[in-house]
Chains A and B, each alone.
Chain A
């Protein structure tokens, strides 16, 4: 396996990719941004015109993500997004940044030309940028699951958990999430907390999720779950919880909080306060975006039904939980955890394979979704209070 190398940023973090990001600051600038990005750069953005502190913070985190080497901001000109604040944050991070403002840069055609010329120059510069060695202790790895079925909780999720244990033991920071799918696990999860105060915070986060989903009228256990052999909500939750492995829980973060050191972290993705903007995360990529905003260099994605998504900016490693799905969608998958059900591998072997895949991807290997050009991205409205002092015990 080739050595892991990456790009050292001014804040000390290291990227495992060196992408140019093109960010639209309102949907009205989306088309121009897409044309500027073309095939080379990675397109991200926020579609809303009304201001939102969460979106502002997320965009700042994403534009200064370690996998990003340069940024184009594409503004229509009259949107509410604080373009100047974002530009300053990028400049202060030591990255080159170009602002294209469609209303003052001469409209669609001239804005695209201005942006494309700059991107071409940046791509040439980034291709020559020096690299440095990357250690596992430099990495942040997220995990999500989507398109789950009865196999997710017995193959892909426990295997991802074993990989997490190995990564945490090697000094990496690992993040798991979706407090709404941890109802019933709060007791055993709190037992793994580094401190009693953190245990209380973990329980409170799951309580908040239960209240939030109850308000939305979410049926967290569908009849289809029972058809697949699941009997209780806590059994379903435990399947998702398996992704977290066995490590001690070092902290509770919210989207955009960057783990201060190695260890295992729970991300609380459910907004604070009254229910205002609808579902916490409207699709799997919203979860991946939040992992990236908290610095994840790559994300493990466990799927039973067969999601094909990747992501802009940070590679997604797809773990097939269901062996039948794997045979249909093999080209879209990086790991076949379904082999556990057919006697082709043990959970430990699949966990090791996921761990090895993280190292290979950090050394530059393309994931299946990267190779096929997947660069999904979605960011919508939310609101959060900052985490409390108990959430990140020293």
Chain B
């Protein structure tokens, strides 16, 4: 299944890809064979869902949980503070958003 070469899978059990390069707003990229439009520009190191993730499900990176989905996440969607929350301490971003 085709996946954009800018997406890096760190571990076979992961539910997210990591960007190895930036992706511009509006680009259509391949994620495991599906064509996904990226609405906002994403930088190096950001994450994209490998498959659809249900709200409350663990999100796995490096083969280990990095928190839970705080909302349903579509395959290919950006995974970050708006839809991923820590199982430890809340994360505070610059805009005051809490994950």
B44 in contact (CB, < 8 A):
yes
Asked whether B80 lies within 8 Å of A234 as measured between CB atoms, the reply is no
Asked whether A231 lies within 8 Å of B67 as measured between CB atoms, the reply is yes
A188 in contact (CB, < 8 A):
yes
Which residues of chain B have C-beta atoms less than 8 A from A227's C-beta?
43, 94
Which residues of chain A have C-beta atoms less than 8 A from B87's C-beta?
184, 232, 234
In chain B, positions 56-93 with a C-beta closer than 8 Å to chain A are 61-62, 64-67, 79-81, 84-89, 91-93
A136 in contact (CB, < 8 A):
no
Asked whether A232 lies within 8 Å of B86 as measured between CB atoms, the reply is yes
Asked whether B88 lies within 8 Å of A231 as measured between CB atoms, the reply is no
B21 in contact (CB, < 8 A):
yes
Which residues of chain A have C-beta atoms less than 8 A from B99's C-beta?
231-232
In chain A, positions 214-241 with a C-beta closer than 8 Å to chain B are 221, 223, 226-235, 238-239, 241
Asked whether A234 lies within 8 Å of B67 as measured between CB atoms, the reply is yes
Asked whether B43 lies within 8 Å of A228 as measured between CB atoms, the reply is yes
In chain A, positions 136-169 with a C-beta closer than 8 Å to chain B are 149-151, 153-154, 158
A242 in contact (CB, < 8 A):
yes
B45 in contact (CB, < 8 A):
yes
Which residues of chain A have C-beta atoms less than 8 A from B80's C-beta?
226, 229, 231
For the complex, give the distance between the alpha carbons of A233 and B90 in Å.
Answer: 8
Asked whether B91 lies within 8 Å of A232 as measured between CB atoms, the reply is yes
Nearest neighbor of A304 in chain B, beta-carbon distance:
B45
Given A150-B44, A229-B47, A231-B81, are A221 and B10 also a contact pair (CB < 8 Å)?
no
Contact of B66 among A221, A226, A235, A340 (CB under 8 A): A235
A89 in contact (CB, < 8 A):
no
Asked whether B66 lies within 8 Å of A234 as measured between CB atoms, the reply is yes
Given A234-B86, A341-B21, are A226 and B43 also a contact pair (CB < 8 Å)?
no
Nearest neighbor of B92 in chain A, beta-carbon distance:
A223
B19 in contact (CB, < 8 A):
yes
Asked whether B91 lies within 8 Å of A233 as measured between CB atoms, the reply is yes
A185 in contact (CB, < 8 A):
yes
Report the interface size for chain A: residues with CB under 8 A from the other chain: 30
B5 in contact (CB, < 8 A):
yes
Asked whether B10 lies within 8 Å of A226 as measured between CB atoms, the reply is no
Nearest neighbor of A183 in chain B, beta-carbon distance:
B88
Asked whether B5 lies within 8 Å of A231 as measured between CB atoms, the reply is no
What's the dominant secondary structure at chain A's contact region? loop
In chain A, positions 315-348 with a C-beta closer than 8 Å to chain B are 340-343
Nearest neighbor of A239 in chain B, beta-carbon distance:
B62
B18 in contact (CB, < 8 A):
yes
Given A154-B8, A154-B18, A226-B80, are A231 and B91 also a contact pair (CB < 8 Å)?
yes
Asked whether B85 lies within 8 Å of A229 as measured between CB atoms, the reply is no
Which residues of chain B have C-beta atoms less than 8 A from A183's C-beta?
88
How near does chain B come to A142, taking the closest CB pair, in angstroms? 22
How near does chain A come to B89, taking the closest CB pair, in angstroms? 6
Which residues of chain B have C-beta atoms less than 8 A from A231's C-beta?
47, 66-67, 79-81, 84, 86, 91, 99
How near does chain B come to A324, taking the closest CB pair, in angstroms? 9
Nearest neighbor of B86 in chain A, beta-carbon distance:
A232
Which residues of chain A have C-beta atoms less than 8 A from B20's C-beta?
154, 340-342
Asked whether A343 lies within 8 Å of B66 as measured between CB atoms, the reply is no
How near does chain A come to B67, taking the closest CB pair, in angstroms? 4
Q: Interface readout for B36-61 with A: 1 if CB under 8 Å, 0 if not? A: 00000011111100000000000001
Asked whether A238 lies within 8 Å of B61 as measured between CB atoms, the reply is yes
Which residues of chain B have C-beta atoms less than 8 A from A238's C-beta?
61-62, 64, 66
Asked whether B88 lies within 8 Å of A229 as measured between CB atoms, the reply is no
How near does chain A come to B97, taking the closest CB pair, in angstroms? 9
For the complex, give the distance between the alpha carbons of A229 and B85 in Å.
Answer: 14
Q: What are 15 pairs between A and B in contact, CB < 8 Å?
A: A151-B44, A154-B20, A183-B88, A184-B86, A221-B89, A223-B92, A223-B93, A227-B43, A229-B19, A229-B44, A229-B47, A231-B47, A231-B84, A232-B66, A234-B66
What 8 pairs between A and B have smallest CB-CB spacing? A150-B45, A229-B45, A229-B46, A232-B86, A235-B66, A341-B20, A232-B67, A223-B94
Given contacts A154-B18, A233-B86, A234-B67, 18 further A-B contacts (CB under 8 A): A149-B45, A150-B43, A158-B62, A184-B88, A185-B64, A226-B81, A226-B93, A229-B46, A229-B47, A229-B80, A231-B47, A232-B88, A233-B91, A234-B65, A235-B66, A242-B62, A341-B20, A342-B20
